[in-house]
Structure 1
Amino acid sequence: MARKKQVGRRVEGWKAKKWYRVHVPDAFGKIEIGDTISADPENMVGRVMTATLGEVVQDYSKSHIKMKFRINNVAGESAYTEFVGHEVTRDYLRSMVKRRTSRIDTIMPVITKDGKKVRLTIVCLTLTRAEQSQIHSIRQTIMQQIAARATEADLDTLVKDVMSGDLSRDLFKAVKTIYPVRRVEITKSKLERIAAV
């Protein structure tokens, strides 16, 4: 008898829940990326949703880029999000790395013009194996370029530049004068916290 009552309560609890449409931020056109369910809209704030860049921009050649959005506002039956990071899939990263070449990883925190702290991971792949001095020079150039770009841009602009590939292209142009490179890719980003302005 007790078991039946427990099942009944579970059904009632489920019925009390409501579906909400989840939208990406303005920077990505506020498009809907899915649904989430909750009995209380306030409980959804802080919930992290994932989608591929391919789904967001309707270009499935970009499905190797996974994006994370955190719900920060609920209005009516819609939940709105903020961008909190991205990462390229391991398979994609593995496919880029070739033998007898150098892989130069750069991880750096930057603070945007609107005071947001973002940690970026940049991977530079050379055509042939580079010497240590060239690797150092490439890493220094990447760090200078990223720092300069971040101080001039707000978070939305920086994220757009990363996702569109514009920032990677600019970094490629800057480092190819040092040593022949095959690719520069921003493989990961993470919104860490709001910095003191």
Structure 2
Amino acid sequence: MAEKRSRTMARQARDRWRTKTWYNIMAPDMFDRASLGETMANVPEKPIGRKTIVSFQDLTGDYSDGHIKLKFVIHEVKGNDALTRFVGHDFRKDYVIRLARRRRSKIDGVFNVTTKDGYSIRVKPLAIAEKRIKTTQAKSIRRIIGESVREFASSMTFSEFVKAMLSGEIAETASKRCRTIFPVRRVEVKKSEVLAFPTLVERITDEVEEEGAGEEAVETEPTPEEVGSKEEVIALFTSLKGIGPMKAEALYEAGFDSLDALRNATTDQIAEVEGFSPSLAKKVLEQL
């Protein structure tokens, strides 16, 4: 009897696998739609919100990029392709530890910037000085780095800014400017997080302003689809630490239909959502 039941369970497990489809995880256009791997699901909506982390070296083929980890979130499925968004990057811990050796000064910074096309990004640069430096010097270096990051962001699109950040262009510019204060050994952008994507109505407005400056504007009321689809909002929520696809959907169903709505909520309001404890709610708000 037990043997028959085990055979039945094995057959049911095989049947579940047969109903699933493999989807190719594709990088966004800024990374030439490179293949990031594969994922399995029984319905096309299931992969939305899933995260994947790849080494930048895998995309460039350059060994010197091996310390950079890129983070992507699936936001749309077309056919057998799962399309992703870039949601941030991070350095490997051992690389950062090697930079910040004893008797060196490490200057950290956290700056929230907005690109020319409306993407909100949190950037965390790192400067290393060969010797111990004064607090006033560290503050000046941090200020110069912040000014450099904001300057790049305000003059570039999201794609251009990400490329400048990962290629080291932003860090190199900041490093040269910091030498007027102290000859820093190097500057790196060790981490980034995409805080908010522009809504469809904002992107349309930007395109109209660029293409038809001088044409009479027509005011229209944005529809719910233009403000952001459910899939887009869920993908954005899953970019926050501690929130997976199920928790993201629970937030959306509870009435949080944007990052602003989540940002304006209290810890108690978020904790009332299924799957959220007060400590997790607090952690979510700290990221906003």
- Of 68, 89, 97, the match for 1:86: 89
The amino acid that maps onto 2:78 is A
Matches within 5 A, 1:27-38: 27-38=30-41
- Of 177, 181, 189, the match for 1:178: 181
Q: Is 2:166 the partner of 1:163?
A: yes
8 Å CA contact retained: 2:148, 2:170: no
The amino acid that maps onto 1:37 is M
| Partner Cα distance (1:26, 1:60) in 2 | 22
The amino acid that maps onto 2:104 is T
Q: Name the structure 1 match of 2:22.
A: 19
Q: Is 2:115 the partner of 1:121?
A: no
Aligned residue for 2:11, secondary structure, equals helix
TM-score, reference length from structure 2: 0.66
Shift of 1:127: 1.9
Aligned residue for 2:85, secondary structure, equals strand
Q: Name the structure 1 match of 2:193.
A: 190
Shift of 1:195: 5.9
Q: Name the structure 1 match of 2:263.
A: none
Segment drifting more, 107-116 vs 46-55: 107-116
The amino acid that maps onto 2:178 is V
Unaligned runs of 5+ in 2: 203-288
Aligned residue for 2:180, secondary structure, equals coil
| Partner Cα distance (1:190, 1:142) in 2 | 17
Q: Name the structure 2 match of 1:95.
A: 98
Aligned residue for 2:24, secondary structure, equals strand
Between the aligned residues of both structures, percent identity stands at 33
Shift of 1:4: 3.0
TM-score, reference length from structure 1: 0.95
| Partner Cα distance (1:92, 1:141) in 2 | 24
Shift of 1:152: 1.3
| Partner Cα distance (2:37, 2:52) in 1 | 9
Higher relative contact order (CA 8 A, sep 6+): 1
| Partner Cα distance (2:63, 2:47) in 1 | 28
8 Å CA contact retained: 1:111, 1:195: no
| Partner Cα distance (2:198, 2:57) in 1 | 30
8 Å CA contact retained: 2:21, 2:42: yes
Query: Structure 1 or 2: larger helix share?
Result: 2
Shift of 1:101: 1.7
8 Å CA contact retained: 2:76, 2:83: yes
| Partner Cα distance (2:132, 2:193) in 1 | 30
C-alpha distance after superposition, 1:80-126 (max 9, x if no partner): 11100100000000011122221000011111112111111110001
| Partner Cα distance (1:116, 1:49) in 2 | 21
Structure of higher CA gyration radius: 2
Q: Name the structure 2 match of 1:151.
A: 154
Query: Structure 1 or 2: larger strand share?
Result: 1
Q: Name the structure 2 match of 1:73.
A: 76
The amino acid that maps onto 1:100 is R
8 Å CA contact retained: 1:110, 1:147: yes
| Partner Cα distance (2:104, 2:6) in 1 | 64
Unaligned runs of 5+ in 1: none
Aligned residue for 2:161, secondary structure, equals helix
